[in-house]
Amino acid sequence: MKGTPPVNSTPHARPPILIHDPTLRDGHHAVGHQLDADQLRAYAVAANTARVPVVEVGHGNGLGASSLQIGRAKLDDATMLATVREALTSSRMGVFMAPGWGTSDDLATAVRHGADVVRIAAHCTEADVTERHLGTVRDLGAEAQGVLLMSHMTGPGELAEQCALMVKYGAQAVGIMDSAGHYLPDDVIERVHAIADAVDVPVIFHGHNNLGLAMANSLAAVDAGASVIDATARGFGAGAGNTQLEALVAILERRGFDTGIGLREVLAAADVAADRLMKAPPSIDSIAVASGLAGVFSGFKRPVLEIARAEGVDPIDLFLALGERQVVAGQEDLIGDVARQLKAATR
Amino acid sequence: MKGTPPVNSTPHARPPILIHDPTLRDGHHAVGHQLDADQLRAYAVAANTARVPVVEVGHGNGLGASSLQIGRAKLDDATMLATVREALTSSRMGVFMAPGWGTSDDLATAVRHGADVVRIAAHCTEADVTERHLGTVRDLGAEAQGVLLMSHMTGPGELAEQCALMVKYGAQAVGIMDSAGHYLPDDVIERVHAIADAVDVPVIFHGHNNLGLAMANSLAAVDAGASVIDATARGFGAGAGNTQLEALVAILERRGFDTGIGLREVLAAADVAADRLMKAPPSIDSIAVASGLAGVFSGFKRPVLEIARAEGVDPIDLFLALGERQVVAGQEDLIGDVARQLKAATR
């Protein structure tokens, strides 16, 4: 490489990469699910202008998740979907659902409101819970995708098996989420390779930035054969945030991959996100580093901080202890128990 | 990998990595060089407690750079050095000097105030300007290091030659800075490999995060043979910031490299930096992405924004055009010319 980088001038010799943009879903975690219709519309218009292929929207935890326990969204699912649908003239609309929070009725509502791509999520070892819902999505005529959460908690072989199961159930793309932001690039490479070898549908990767490696992990996933990469404007997402969309587009372009996204327009969309959606861009605080290192879902941050304060234990100790117990989303009730054990142990 | 990561429990099978922390120098760019003595002291104490090997301090552009044109620092060099020196009981103190801004007198002042490690910086193709100053540092009895700025502007072979020259001049460690945050990991690997093959002293890498790859590039540098890695608390540094110190420590620890730094204490030091030094943690805005992609020093951001506004051109267009002209620090006067050419071209 000499001098100026080949900005916007690289011939596209490599396979196309489909960017899937959950700014309006994963980013919702960062603002307590309180985006209003004007905010959804402003970003959806900007992403559509940038030719982002899929714009995902919803409560941070997906369809049907708005609740007192998880956090009530400002808008109901139908309103969010109708708002974004109206703004998208070329981008497809995506939704996310984790069985347990969402139901078949929620899927029907989503597709009726124009969802084109429906992701069904399961804990990394529990793909069997996606069977019925993936079938429902296919029956409804939308594109069905399957994703495995907290995927660092098991190895390449099992992830490949679980992804193959989801393909059998009807998934038209499958992959892994680094829900805790725990991966190093080599971890991603071995996992994505194993999955790509086991299935004949596009492989998805979704990163989080707890250790500052969301971008590197996403590029590693591409190199290992993933072709659907999740990325959000300014990295807007749970905890330390996601892979940063506009930087990913710039890098993929420079490396000769075609995303179909306009660089200038996606930089403008990121500015809309920064100005309209977020209080501050995501950053990697010490809690984020600890939760990434411990392999604990970033969504635990608020309860961990509250319980650590109430029990008088160090929140970083608490995150590391929760990592040792391998807690996963849905096990928030364990936080208090672990905190009290920590407290007892240090007396 | 299964379940919990090996937090603080990995046997150290790999060579030690020396972390060099320019939080109080590169971070100075982010606050217009306005850190006061209490701020310097608070962070230096915290970094010393974390056993950070080298704590660098000074004006963002280094010794002697405080000026009306570049920006006046709140404190003079002697005061900054004396303040940090007093706080460090085990960490060594580092300083940075670019010939042209600093002089031999500044070097003498720095060593008299207890600087242990003195870095002499040059544009990536101009190592010859470091000869006299590296000699001076050796004569003064401090550790002399040589670093090449804007190192993406030339290739591995020339960087290796330039580093070898600095070793000949007396440098006891040499390496490269990614001043524009332009590198992808493969770029770093080929360059660090070439340098490590050409010299028999430790190799230095200093990253910036414009494309979200500072961490990945630093890990790539380690894999390619670099053993002195620059990193700052919360990434506090020019533009999009530097490699994030506390996350780097966590990752290196997890990968079995010994840094000698205490993880809990460095997380605490990062919290001190976040609470005491910065208005907000660094983030990657659209200008940062554009300047990284274009390969233009982040320090151009303020003048580029001002001139773009005055001339009515898009700052991102201006950054990309400056990248095409391969401008480097010291050529700020070209910004206006390029802006006016852009304006004329779009009429």
**pLDDT tens digits, residue range A70-97?**
899 999 999 999 999 999 999 999 999 9
Q: What is the Cα–Cα distance from A235 to A281, expressed in whole angstroms?
A: 7
Share of chain B above pLDDT 70, in %: 96
Q: Is the pLDDT of residue A222 over 60?
A: yes
pLDDT of residue B9: 44
pLDDT of residue A3: 38
pLDDT of residue A2: 36
Residues B159 and B303 in one domain: no
pLDDT of residue A5: 41
Task: Provide the pLDDT confidence category of residue B330 given band limits of 50, 70 and 90.
Answer: confident
The angle at the Cα of B170, spanning B166 to B174, to the nearest 5 degrees, equals 45
- The CATH number assigned to the domain holding B22 equals 3.20.20.70
Output Rg (C-alpha) for chain B, integer angstroms. 19
Residues of B in contact with A280 (CB under 8 A): 280, 283
Distance from CA of B153 to the nearest CA of A (A): 5
The answer to whether the CB of B126 falls within 8 A of the CB of B165 is no
Residues 234-263 of A with CB under 8 A from B: 234-235, 243-244, 246-248, 250-251, 254-255
Asked if A140 is an interface residue toward chain B (Cβ–Cβ < 8 A), one would say: no
Q: Which residue segment(s) compose the domain that A151 sits in? A: 18-277
In a domain, B13, yes or no: no
Task: Provide the pLDDT confidence category of residue B196 given band limits of 50, 70 and 90.
Answer: very high
Average pLDDT, chain A: 94
Asked which of A174-188, A220-234, B246-260, B286-300 is least confident by mean pLDDT, the reply is B286-300
Distance from CA of B214 to the nearest CA of A (A): 8
- Among A231, A249, A277, where does a domain finish? A277
Residues B186 and B57 in one domain: yes
Residues 60-79 of B with CB under 8 A from A: none
Classify the C-alpha dihedral B48-B265-B34-B212 as positive or negative: positive
pLDDT, mean of residues A144-156? 97
Per DSSP, what are the bridge partners of residue B92?
Answer: B54
Interface touch A289/B250, C-beta < 8 Å: yes
Phi/psi for A345 (5° steps) reads -70, -25
pLDDT of residue B345: 87
> Which two tokens mark B180?
């524009």
Q: What is the Cα–Cα distance from B72 to B64, expressed in whole angstroms?
A: 10
SS (H, E, C) B250-312: HHHHHCCCCCCCCHHHHHHHHHHHHHHHCCCCCCCCHHHHHHHHHCCCHHHHHHHHHHHHHHC
Residue with tokens 């070097």: B107
Distance from CA of B211 to the nearest CA of A (A): 5
Interface touch B212/A247, C-beta < 8 Å: yes
Asked if B337 is an interface residue toward chain A (Cβ–Cβ < 8 A), one would say: no
From the centroid of its chain, how far is CA A85? 20
Task: Tell me the per-residue pLDDT of B141-160, one tens digit each, with 9 for 90 and over.
Answer: 999 999 999 999 999 999 99
Higher pLDDT residue, B11 or B13?
A: B13
Q: What is the Cα–Cα distance from B130 to B128, expressed in whole angstroms?
A: 5
Share of chain B above pLDDT 90, in %: 88
Residues A127 and A255 in one domain: yes
pLDDT of residue B346: 78
Q: Is the pLDDT of residue B173 over 50?
A: yes
Q: Which of A267, A293, A323 sits opposite B250 (nearest CB)?
A: A293
pLDDT, mean of residues B231-256? 96
In a domain, B10, yes or no: no
pLDDT of residue A327: 86
Per DSSP, what are the bridge partners of residue B144?
Answer: B118
pLDDT, mean of residues A166-189? 98
- Among B276, B298, B330, where does a domain finish? B276
Q: Is B25 annotated to bind ligand? A: yes
**Does the complex come out with an ipTM higher than 0.85?**
yes
DSSP A274: I
pLDDT of residue B328: 81
Interface touch B251/A184, C-beta < 8 Å: yes
B29 catalytic? Reply is yes
Q: Which of B216, B247, B281 sits opposite A215 (nearest CB)?
A: B216
In a domain, A12, yes or no: no
Q: Is the pLDDT of residue B2 over 90?
A: no
End-to-end CA distance of chain A: 59
Phi/psi for A19 (5° steps) reads -85, 130
Task: Provide the pLDDT confidence category of residue B13 given band limits of 50, 70 and 90.
Answer: low
**Domain count along chain A:** 2
- Among B245, B276, B307, where does a domain finish? B276
From the centroid of its chain, how far is CA A28? 11
Q: Which of A329, A317, A330 is nearest to A340 (CA)?
A: A317
Task: Provide the pLDDT confidence category of residue A9 given band limits of 50, 70 and 90.
Answer: very low
Q: Is the pLDDT of residue A12 over 70?
A: no
Distances (CA, A) of A306 to A301, A312, A333, A335, B317: 9, 10, 13, 10, 46
Interface touch B280/A285, C-beta < 8 Å: no
Asked if A152 is an interface residue toward chain B (Cβ–Cβ < 8 A), one would say: yes
Helix (H) or strand (E) holding A174: strand A173-177
Task: Provide the pLDDT confidence category of residue A330 given band limits of 50, 70 and 90.
Answer: confident
Q: What is the Cα–Cα distance from A103 to A126, expressed in whole angstroms?
A: 17
Q: Where are the alpha helices (DSSP H) in chain A?
A: 23-26, 37-49, 77-87, 104-112, 131-140, 156-168, 185-198, 214-223, 245-254, 263-272, 286-294, 301-311, 315-324, 334-345
Q: Is A25 annotated to bind ligand? A: yes
Residues B218 and B310 in one domain: no
Residues B140 and B209 in one domain: yes
Residues B111 and B58 in one domain: yes
Distance from CA of A212 to the nearest CA of B (A): 6
In a domain, A5, yes or no: no
Q: What is the Cα–Cα distance from B171 to B165, expressed in whole angstroms?
A: 9
Please name the residue of chain A whose CA is at the shortest distance from the CA of residue B214: A212
Residues of B in contact with A2 (CB under 8 A): 153-155
Interface touch B7/A323, C-beta < 8 Å: yes
Interface touch A284/B184, C-beta < 8 Å: no
Task: Provide the pLDDT confidence category of residue A7 given band limits of 50, 70 and 90.
Answer: very low
> Which two tokens mark A176?
């892994």
Task: Provide the pLDDT confidence category of residue B15 given band limits of 50, 70 and 90.
Answer: confident
Q: Enumerate helices (H) and strands (E) in chain A, giving the number of each.
A: 14, 8
Task: Provide the pLDDT confidence category of residue A13 given band limits of 50, 70 and 90.
Answer: low
> Which two tokens mark A264?
């200038």
Q: What is the Cα–Cα distance from A25 to A101, expressed in whole angstroms?
A: 15
The answer to whether the CB of A207 falls within 8 A of the CB of A179 is no
